[in-house]
Amino acid sequence: MKAGCHPALLPWRQKQGEFTLKIRRKTTAAVLALLLGLAGCDRVQRAQEFVDGQMALRDKSHIQLISREMALTTAVQAYPRQLRALADQGHPINADPELLEWSQNIAVALIQQAERMYPHSQGWDWDLAVVGTGELNAWCMAGGKMALYTGLVDATQGNPHKVAAVLGHEIAHALLEHTRTGMSREALLSSSLWIASKSFKIGTGRMNAIAQDLHLGLKSMDRDAEREADALGLELMARAGFDPVEGARVWLDFQRGEMGTGAKRLVGFLGDHPLDEERLQTLQALAEKLKRTEAPAKASKKGAQS
């Protein structure tokens, strides 16, 4: 007899599979409820979205287990360690004084707008380091601890609008406390799965399946965070006097791989910042809207001051 399931057992196997799927869904729902029950919610001021051609400004609740103070302390401790690690790997920090000054001027313009829009960031000890590496990257930790990689500057041919778009996006993540939210979710997920495994007597195989289901759900939250950072990042740069339309082109360059010899180093960056046609279209539409609204506002303000 060939190996396999006897025909008479097929209906039973099918019912067993359906039963297992139902149990998995119910257990996943129970773990998710436990996760939410353990968490607290903080409201983030002026979270933004771009919907149907309009900016939607509203407060938004995020699941938080990690306090704001803990997130800031973690960043303050991690920042010098990260820079030392990069230096140890042969990537010089702030080696070019002119490039550092140029980069800091862009950052300061963005920070001024960030502090106006989000007063809680006025107490941050902002910092920017320029890292000498061909990698195309930039990041901003909680508390305004930033790094700009020379590979990104080179790939944009020193275009201040495009660099401002990327830095503004990263600053937006920090202002909206997405790092803190991510830390909270990971802590909640780990603790909830451990508690569930003890409470529900779940086997290892089923626990792994449930963990995969939950991680898929969290992926959608990450996509929402990217959209929020898109909207706020472009508004920051537009308010700071940069061209949002020119800046938004950097994301199209990323997607098309039009970043010169640094294109091969885009894989890691795009892994954290996935781009699709819908997101690119939204970015372009928002940039054009901001250019129409911010430019007249600046002209009116200058006229009133003269």
Q: Is residue 263 part of a domain?
A: yes
pLDDT exceeds 60 at position 198? no
User: At 126, is the pLDDT very low, low, confident or very high (cuts 50, 70, 90)?
Assistant: very high
pLDDT exceeds 70 at position 138? yes
pTM: 0.68
| Listed ranges 3-17, 34-48, 59-73; the one with the highest mean pLDDT | 59-73
pLDDT of residue 146: 97
pLDDT exceeds 90 at position 129? yes
**Cβ(282)–Cβ(225) below 8 Å:** no
For the chain, the domain total comes to 1
Residue 66's Cα: distance from chain center in Å? 17
Closest residue by Cα to residue 145 from 127, 123, 129, 169:
127
Q: Note down the domain range covering 217.
A: 39-52+60-297
Q: Is residue 26 part of a domain?
A: no
pLDDT exceeds 70 at position 159? yes
Euclidean distance between CA atoms 3 and 174, whole angstroms: 57
pLDDT exceeds 50 at position 145? yes
Between residues 236 and 25, which one has the greater pLDDT? 236
Q: Give the list of residues 6+ apart from residue 286 with CB closer than 8 angstroms, or none.
A: 50, 55, 230, 231, 234, 244, 248
For residue range 215-268, what is the model confidence (pLDDT) as tens digits? 444 444 567 788 889 999 999 999 999 999 999 999 888 777 655 444 444 444
Q: Is residue 170 part of a domain?
A: yes
**Cβ(28)–Cβ(214) below 8 Å:** yes
pLDDT of residue 38: 44
pLDDT of residue 92: 97
Residue with tokens 């409201």: 43
User: At 60, is the pLDDT very low, low, confident or very high (cuts 50, 70, 90)?
Assistant: low
Q: Which of 170-174, 201-205, 293-297 has the lowest mean pLDDT?
A: 201-205
Q: Is residue 123 part of a domain?
A: yes
Percent with pLDDT over 70 in the chain: 54
User: At 149, is the pLDDT very low, low, confident or very high (cuts 50, 70, 90)?
Assistant: very high
pLDDT of residue 66: 61
pLDDT of residue 170: 95
Q: Is residue 234 part of a domain?
A: yes
Q: Which of 8-12, 80-84, 298-302 has the lowest mean pLDDT?
A: 298-302
Euclidean distance between CA atoms 234 and 224, whole angstroms: 16
pLDDT of residue 292: 86
Residue with tokens 């809680």: 120
Q: Is residue 122 part of a domain?
A: yes
Mean pLDDT of 100-118: 97
Euclidean distance between CA atoms 238 and 110, whole angstroms: 9
Mean pLDDT of 6-22: 50
Q: Is residue 136 part of a domain?
A: yes
* Mean pLDDT over each residue of the chain, to the nearest integer: 72
Q: Is residue 17 part of a domain?
A: no
**Cβ(206)–Cβ(200) below 8 Å:** no
Q: Which of 65-69, 190-194, 299-303 has the lowest mean pLDDT?
A: 299-303
